[in-house]
Structure 1
Amino acid sequence: MTTTSELVFVPFPAVGHLVSMLEMAKLLVDRDDRLSITVLVMKSPFDSEIDSRVELFAASVAARIRFILLPQQNVSLEASPMAFLNHFMESHKASVREAITNLSACGSSRLKGLVVDMFCTPVINGAVEFGIPSYVFIPSGVAFLGLMLYLQFLQDEQHVDLTRLTGPDAELDFPCFANSLPAAKFLPSEVLMKEDCQIFLGHARRFKEAKGILVNTFAELEPRAMEALAGLGAPAVYPLGPILNIKVESKKGFEILDWLDQQLDASVVFLCFGSHGSFDEDQVKEIACALERSECHFLWSLRQPPAKGKLESPSDYADPAEVLPEGFIHRTTGVGRVIGWAPQVAILAHRAIGGFVSHCGWNSTLESIWFGVPIAAWPQYAEQQFNAFQLVVELGLAAEIKIDYRRDLIKGGNSIVTADKIERGIRSLMEGKEAGERRKKVKEMSKKSRKALMEGGTSYLSLGRFIEDVCSQ
């Protein structure tokens, strides 16, 4: 059948955002041969993995997904993270418009919509100019979407000064969760900064201009958050997840998987903290002390933080022993392994993994659910992670290590979580009756996540509704 409907995707160039959006593109063209997708790729000034990820993906997909590399823009890295994101997107508006113009002039297919990442809302203007609908993609869950809309409602409709919602007694009665929460712990750090508040809420305002919102979640995971959206003025919401790249890499070249083959089922705790996950030396020593005292078998992905003041991805240590307690590697030989970068999907899929100490990034949370691995939650540097933490704890899928830890990606860590607290979290995750009950609940949610994507499942049906909305225009 001839392709007649084309969507233009604008992902934000960060691995956690890019991967899920590309996987969604694959999901769409595999589902309906009326669709083709053009992905406009922006070059990240601080994430070198983006180019290689796009190249690998482009080599593995059908011709109905194509890529256009946008010209690199020079944006100052001196601004705050939220201001940088805004300047970065504003600098790409002209090149996005030019790309849409060229696609419209080509005439090989009908342009039916613009799908933008949640941080790419400034380019929605291009959709308005060309008279096509826009859709927003949320790579996090519905609770995070609800939070953004709720904060925007508080400021614009209730005239609440969000920058004053701080202090031990300040609370938010957020409808996605059962209880009011301390605002200083719950609010995104960007909102607590006056200079970034309007930028953050500006994205939420643009969400309401879209024809629909696509979310990387499934209805069974966030039923209360889905219900809460009805009162927040959201357009049509399509939960399409879990959208994951769950292809387990070949074992070739991953010696660590051979080591896992030698371990007992569900006996190893895996520590990994995302694409930006790293700690200062003092915190590394506390984690090491906790692992040694817990006597649990462990696999630890330990990354070196970038230089202070640099917004860059962590790197592997040339010698991890330089930041670990003296003799730690020797004393834990046979019990644990310290590695650099980790093939996270392949590790979580392994039968030996019994628990996952995680920063609660949304992709990591969905992967742990998919593979039925309970979490010890340690959210670190983003509001999406706190939402994921709150969700998995409420559902009984996670133990808690630290609720209000924040690591500044530019300045480094501001607090230390003690070995005692980390050890308690690991033991709660791996030992005792409570751990067994938690593992059972995660296995049940794992089945629901897979069923949601099957024919007749909630996400399968939601994807069908979105496709029909696009093709019927």
Structure 2
Amino acid sequence: MAKPTTVVLVPVWGLGHFKPMLEVGKRLLTRSGRRLTLTVVIMPAPTPNVASEIDAHMRAEEAADPDVRSVRVAFVAPPTDHTGPEEFVSRYVQAYASHVEAAVSELTCPVAAVVFDLFCTPLLDATRALGVPAYVYMITSAAMCALLLRAPGLHEEVEGEFEEEEEVDVPGLPPVPPSCLPSGLQNRKVPTYNWFVYTGRRYMETSGIIINTVAELEPRVLAAIADGRCTRGVRAPPVYTVGPVIPLTPHPAAAAATEEEEEEEEHECARWLDAQPPSSVVFLCFGGSGFFPAPQAHEIARALERSGHRFLCVLRGPPEPPSKTPTDGDLDALLPPGFLERTTGRGLVWPKRAPQKRILAHAAVGGFVTHCGWNSVLESLWHGVPMIPWPLGAEQHYNAFTLVAEMGAAVEMEVDRKRGNFVEAAELERAIRALMDGGEVERKVRERAVEIRDACRVAVEEGGSSCLSLQRLCEALVDGTARPKS
């Protein structure tokens, strides 16, 4: 009997990238009727705590499914002189290229394709040497894919810094203010900018682009990509919209190191939410890396107190080097004196990691103040919860712009990017009131969030747009119609 064909996944470290890629791989496996298997090539994370989390999660997945296996390559020392995370990832992946090529070439079963993370384009040389089709998996939006595909053209068309231009043209979107561009695109003088341009150029060499979005969520930008408007008339590779890719339930074999903590968090937060009226609570949470110093935390506290609305606020402390994971928040140091006493019964401040997906699913939650990481955006939209964007870095300002200007599922808030994304108490209070006070603004964004929720759920059902797109991708992989670009 012939050995089954495998799809090789090459994620980057960091659970926010790793889990969604593994999830889409598992969907491919199921959709193919087990005619495909998964092989995950693991490049060791640069920090030990992240590496241990990845290893624990991968071991659990392998134990649960014999068609999922992993190959670990030898550790390579990370670069120490970089100007941004995109440069860091791209250069670090480049150092792993020969190791990944060797790992794939040594597999004993046929390889249908290699799927790599969005800033892993240096690996294209390895897949080309092997004669294997390569796909890029975008954990971000179609709007971000359009911007990356557009970046080489913008580089040639725009003289000087983008911030000197009044607007940036990304086909399929309203004109983008330069202040909303990802941080790596704002300064041409640093190497990170060059990696953005390089990445967008090399996407054109792939056999396809897999995007964690829903066709009905971003129709105009997807049409612009398909029409070649983002790539100056040259047809882009086929796009597969397979989202929302959200691991909706934790794996039963989750790592013991975090299981008890997450259960306790769920118990404490859920018990408090159970006592609140429907859609009455504004939830504030800022991702796996988000934390604030005391001056900003004080502004948050004043806004919450003055808004009069119920709240659940996750407030973490700064990481302890070399880790980049926030520590448990010291609420005595972060909050104004007497704040917790004055808001007893109306609010809960949670100083540890929170079960975000479960909180967003709770009927008591009526709004979400979010850092606008794409995973968090999709989780909120999946549950029909409208948002207030508070971007902190990476592509989050761009996500915030598309949420407000294109999708209409969020209330805009002024975030001072030049002051480290600082938000005044009065501005946060205004945005919370606009979202939660029951006026016309709330009605519009809440209706839009519910429309998107319904579209997302239909998309992943049998016959839905994401289901059909995943089927097309499976057919290309199983039937061998996927071919490496020459």
TM-score strictly above 0.5: yes
Are 2:274 and 1:261 aligned? yes
Does the CA contact (< 8 Å) of 1:138 and 1:145 recur in 2?
A: yes
Does the CA contact (< 8 Å) of 1:373 and 1:442 recur in 2?
A: yes
1:79 aligns with 82
Does the CA contact (< 8 Å) of 1:378 and 1:400 recur in 2?
A: no
Separation (CA, whole Å) in 2 of partners of 1:262 and 1:148? 45
Separation (CA, whole Å) in 2 of partners of 1:311 and 1:191? 27
Aligned counterpart in structure 1 of residue 327 of structure 2, from 305, 311, 315: 315
1:282-431 correspondence runs (5 A): 282-306=295-319, 312-317=324-329, 319-339=330-350, 340-402=352-414, 405=417, 414=420, 416-431=422-437
Are 2:215 and 1:219 aligned? yes
1:100-128 residue CA offsets vs partner (Å, 9 max, x unmatched): 1211xx2xx31111101011111121210
Residues 50-59 or 432-441, more deviating: 50-59
Does the CA contact (< 8 Å) of 1:100 and 1:126 recur in 2?
A: no
1:420-451 residue CA offsets vs partner (Å, 9 max, x unmatched): 00101111111123213322221121011011
Does the CA contact (< 8 Å) of 1:365 and 1:388 recur in 2?
A: no
Does the CA contact (< 8 Å) of 2:76 and 2:95 recur in 1?
A: yes
Separation (CA, whole Å) in 2 of partners of 1:393 and 1:316? 35
AA aligned opposite 2:162: L
AA aligned opposite 1:245: P
2:180 aligns with 185
Aligned counterpart in structure 1 of residue 162 of structure 2, from 152, 161, 165: 165
Aligned counterpart in structure 2 of residue 235 of structure 1, from 237, 255, 274: 237
The structural deviation recorded for 1:176 is 2.3
AA aligned opposite 2:246: L
Separation (CA, whole Å) in 1 of partners of 2:48 and 2:415? 27
1:133 aligns with 133
Let me know the Cα RMSD of the aligned residues. 2.2
The structural deviation recorded for 1:377 is 1.1
1:352-385 residue CA offsets vs partner (Å, 9 max, x unmatched): 1111000111010100010111101112202255
AA aligned opposite 1:341: R
The structural deviation recorded for 1:43 is 2.2
AA aligned opposite 2:189: K
Change (3 A) 1:440 1:219: same
Does the CA contact (< 8 Å) of 1:170 and 1:184 recur in 2?
A: no
Q: Secondary structure at the match of 2:247?
A: coil
Separation (CA, whole Å) in 2 of partners of 1:330 and 1:445? 38
Residues 46-55 or 188-197, more deviating: 46-55
Q: Percent identity?
A: 38
The structural deviation recorded for 1:192 is 1.5
Separation (CA, whole Å) in 2 of partners of 1:442 and 1:4? 42
The structural deviation recorded for 1:190 is 4.1
The structural deviation recorded for 1:400 is 1.4
Separation (CA, whole Å) in 1 of partners of 2:2 and 2:242? 25
Question: What is the TM-score with the length of structure 2 in the denominator?
Answer: 0.89
Does the CA contact (< 8 Å) of 2:161 and 2:188 recur in 1?
A: no
The structural deviation recorded for 1:470 is 1.0
Does the CA contact (< 8 Å) of 1:248 and 1:345 recur in 2?
A: no
Question: What is the TM-score with the length of structure 1 in the denominator?
Answer: 0.91
Paired positions, count: 456
Aligned counterpart in structure 2 of residue 470 of structure 1, from 454, 458, 477: 477
Q: Secondary structure at the match of 2:80?
A: coil
The structural deviation recorded for 1:184 is 3.7
Identify unmatched segments of 5+ residues in structure 1: 407-412
Are 2:200 and 1:200 aligned? no
Residues 377-386 or 36-45, more deviating: 377-386
The structural deviation recorded for 1:164 is 1.8
1:246 aligns with 248
1:150 aligns with 150
The structural deviation recorded for 1:22 is 0.9
The structural deviation recorded for 1:387 is 2.8
